[in-house]
Structure 1
Amino acid sequence: MTGTLYGLGVGPGDPELLTLKALRLLRACPVVAYPAPDTGQSFARSIASGYLSAEQTEYPIVVPMRIERFPAQDIYDVAARDLSRVLQDGQDVAVLCEGDPFFYGSFMYLYERLAGRFPCEIVPGVSSVMAGAAALGRPLAARNDVLTVIPGPLPDSEISDRLAAADAVAIIKIGRHFKRIRTLLEREGLTGSAGYLERISLAQERILPLAEAEGSAPYFSMILVYKGAENWITNLPVESSQIAANVSERAS
């Protein structure tokens, strides 16, 4: 019998946001694969590192991080070839994926190469969009609101068209496109209803109104906009450090 390929969503960064099922399978699989940059550590691995054991074999899928689009097809071809040998030997493989495997996740490229030949199971994870709404303290959408997810690299004209047709918007993959997107939202009159979020659920998390966001934005950042019918409060929640200070003060 062959092994099973598991695509495990490990969430946006907080290790406690792994599902119980993902954790169980992660600990049970003898081989763990994950995407990794050519410089620095793998973000997906860093999320799950506390749950890995020395007995497990690790397989980093190294994809160079470049501003321009990198033709990674050859890299996934090689990874699929190597992992297929492991699966043919009867060993299960867990592939870690930031957020959710099928929501802009890298795992889908292995899935399309291996799912037709080996048993495969997808374990959904907490996506950054859902985690972002929770951190912002404002619902994403309600009733008949249309939620649209917009990748930041899209041209201005396409972003504007999608903004006009949506009630709630999540703009992801901002990074080097931040200033351009912020200017576009200002032009559309949406700055006041937009929240800026970066490194959600991590210690370096930042949440603030888009109007107060300055400078550059990291890759792991997003903008959430609401323009639907609900009269939700747009004020951002008190920062966690301030909440802790208030709790300490009350306790004393």
Structure 2
Amino acid sequence: MKVLIYGATGMVGQGVLRECLRARDVELVQTVGRRETGIEHPKLREKVLADLADSRTIEPDLSGFDACYFCLGVSSFGMSEADYTRVTYDLTLAIATTLARLNPRMTFVYVSGSGTDSSERGRTMWARVKGRTENALQRLPFRAVYLFRPGAIEPLEGIRSKTRMYHLVYMLTKPLWPLLRVVLGDRLVTTADVGRAMLAVTTRGAPKNVLEARDLHAIAADQARRDATVDAA
């Protein structure tokens, strides 16, 4: 399996990248971003692109992939709806439209957010824009589109958010994570869970396209059990 990852330097993307590099059935991982990940691995190929919305210079390197794991995203804090739309809806659709044309058999997985508004008419700006983005992605001619809506995400293995505000929140709440695991249960997913769930829906599909935190937790746990069985064999 050959996979593309957009946003591999972000908190979620770092976790997804690590799980893809570990997976036995993944032969190539290609990242596309504004900067390199700093990771060296025989499976890894990186493409640095100043303007992610314009893929023309790297189009020859964007075909032949089985999946795209789209982990790009920004906080809407302090942004106008027009600006947030440009970096969320416009950018995502520019990339996804190109990939759908080049890879019609691709599975596209989009990291959205808990509380996304599929009606596109709610009061919360970011939720409307995310909902509009989700709806547009589902109309593209991919083999399958899965919309991941995690809520709280626990970063593992030293992974950190590059968004300063998020990183500060994670650092301040770090002592509370053991308690949060108990309180939130399967409503809490880890960066590894997200990566495992992406690989699982690519190879085995899922009963629905919109996957909330509990769904991701269950899919990731099943994938971990399958991996453990293979290791023990």
Structure 1-normalised TM-score? 0.32
Greater Cα radius of gyration, structure 1 or 2 = 1
Higher helix share: 2
